[in-house]
Structure 1
Amino acid sequence: MRGFLMTVGLAGALLSGLAFALTLLEPILVERSARTLLQREIERRVGHRIGELSDSRIGALARRTLDRVGKDAEAVEQAIRKDLPQRIADVVGNMLDAGCECRRRIAQLLTRNFEERAVSLEQMRQRLTTWIEAAYASVAGNLLREVRIFTGTNAFAFASIGLLAWRRRVATLQLLLPAAIVLCAVAITGGFYLFGQDWLHAIVFNDYVGFAYTAWMLVVASLLGDIVFNRAQVTTALVNACLEAAGSALRAVPC
């Protein structure tokens, strides 16, 4: 049992520590592995800026929107180069004095309006790109922060369990409780990542859930602190209660 705890502590600390180091050394790899999460959150944030979205992927959204705006801008440009002279000629031709200065000003105004619309559409394209880039920077930063919290706290918890299992042989039974809590937290988070993207999205991008995970880890820290500083009095009582409920005759003693 003690060897199992030491193995779990060492393996968990190494894996979590490597994952934490990866977020510092190669953050782009973390972003790529969580591409779906990033796309979903960026879509939600940009959607608040440009209206309701019908597509669930920001790449498709960007391409569709930019293509539509691009076609509008291109149509306006073609109108300026082809249709506009004829339109101006028709308007001027319908006037009594085609050479009047005021008529020329009207023609110039029409041309300027179409040109301004083309500029405005191009600005819309640039603004949309800016929105997407800004949203990506914010979302990626939040993602890396949360991953560092998860991996950092897990690495500390596993390392503490492994160290205590090595240093305090008599606390083996008591250490099973914090070890089980940490393993459950890792398993649940891993399950969300593999099978429940919606839940993982909620965990990563909603602070109150992140705080709940931190509180869960504080329970582990409290149990470890009890083992170190209080001779595992509280942890022993909890472990014995679990053993009794399971019908086991085995009992833990304060250490």
Structure 2
Amino acid sequence: MKKQLLRAFGLLGVILFVPLFLLTFSDPHTIEKSASGFIEWKLKNDVDTKIDAIRWPQSQTLKTLLGTKAEAFNLQADAKLAAYKQMLKNDVPAILAEQLFKLRNLDCECRKKWEERLTNYIAFEIATAEKAKEKLADFMQAKYMAIVAKLTLDVRIFLGINALVFILLLTVSFLKPEATEHLFFPGVLLLLSSAICSYFYLFEQNWFYTILYNDYTGFGYLVYLLAVFAMLCDIAFNRARITTEIINAMASAVGSAFSVVPC
């Protein structure tokens, strides 16, 4: 029974992840379309952060000339700067909607040379209101394409590693039928992680993409999958010696008499 169940786990994972991984290459805009809500949210946050980072140029000469009046001048300047930032933020929804409309057209010229634009507009300087809005629009275009590129890479890594691990699980289940007990543990770990990811994608899609996009969290998940991959390799090439120790240690920790031996 366990052997059939284990192979069903592997086959299910292969059927789920391999076609999705290949789809990201056959239709490279699939992820962008699927993650449109996340991309818009991330872009809005990055634009707000960029506006908040605007500062007046610092001048030691000006401070020397103003002397004791420098503090009062700075307070007045900060108040004007705060009003300026708020004005830009008030204009963000309209500018964002216009740029998203353009960028979601895959044939738009604005999607080209985005790396160059991101470099050019990463330094957001204080200028006239209209000039600032133009710079804001250019920054949005470049940042949008940067988010799409990074998210596409992250999703491909996620799908590719999952596909590879499930293929290995299914392969080892046929090559090493005597290792069913050892394979069941990493198989359950894979099934649980896939079920959790599927839940997030179906019901909390923005959270799913946020987890993948976040370098720290994504790296943690990658380490988790690599640990499962290492167990499968141990079973396939090392007679499951290390996996045996892990399973027996866990069984002993919960007071179970269950144990396995190297296959």
TM-score by length of 2: 0.66
Q: Distance in 2 between matches of 1:7 and 1:59?
A: 48
Q: Distance in 2 between matches of 1:150 and 1:27?
A: 15
Q: Distance in 1 between matches of 2:233 and 2:202?
A: 33
Shift of 1:191: 2.9
Provide, for residues 139-192 of structure 1, a one-character-per-residue CA deviation record: whole Å limited to 9, x for no partner: 111111111111000001100000000110110010011112222222222233
- Residue number in structure 1 paired with 2:30: 29
Q: Distance in 1 between matches of 2:223 and 2:172?
A: 22
TM-score by length of 1: 0.68
Query: Which of residues 136, 156, 159 in structure 2 aligns to 1:148?
Result: 156
Shift of 1:38: 0.6
- Call closer, same or farther: CA 1:122–1:239 in 2, change over 3 Å: same
- After TM superposition, the structure 1 = structure 2 runs for residues 50-199 of structure 1, keeping only pairs within 5 Å, are 50-51=51-52, 62-63=96-97, 123-196=131-204, 199=207
Shift of 1:121: 5.6
Shift of 1:200: 2.9
Q: Which runs of 5+ in 1 are unaligned?
A: 66-119
Q: Distance in 2 between matches of 1:10 and 1:129?
A: 47
Q: Distance in 1 between matches of 2:169 and 2:94?
A: 46
- Residue number in structure 1 paired with 2:110: none
Query: SS of 2:187's equivalent?
Result: helix
* Aligned length in residues: 200
- Residue number in structure 2 paired with 1:12: 13
Q: 4+ residue stretches of structure 1 with deviation over 2 A?
A: 48-55, 58-65, 120-129, 187-202, 237-253
Greater mean deviation of Cα atoms: 152-161 or 209-218: 209-218
- Residue number in structure 1 paired with 2:81: none
Is residue 2–residue 166 contact of structure 1 (8 Å, CA) maintained in 2?
A: no
- Residue number in structure 1 paired with 2:123: none
Shift of 1:40: 1.1
- Call closer, same or farther: CA 1:227–1:131 in 2, change over 3 Å: same
Q: Distance in 1 between matches of 2:50 and 2:252?
A: 58
Q: Distance in 1 between matches of 2:214 and 2:3?
A: 38
Which amino acid letter does the alignment assign opposite residue 8 of structure 1?
Answer: F
Shift of 1:60: 5.4
* 1:222 is aligned to 2:230: yes
- Call closer, same or farther: CA 1:59–1:177 in 2, change over 3 Å: farther
- Residue number in structure 1 paired with 2:42: 41
**Aligned residues: CA RMSD:** 2.9
Which amino acid letter does the alignment assign opposite residue 50 of structure 2?
Answer: R
Q: Distance in 2 between matches of 1:30 and 1:201?
A: 10
Is residue 173–residue 239 contact of structure 1 (8 Å, CA) maintained in 2?
A: no
Question: Which has more radius of gyration?
Answer: 1
Provide, for residues 227-249 of structure 1, a one-character-per-residue CA deviation record: whole Å limited to 9, x for no partner: 12221112123223444566665
Greater mean deviation of Cα atoms: 24-33 or 238-247: 238-247
Identity %: 34
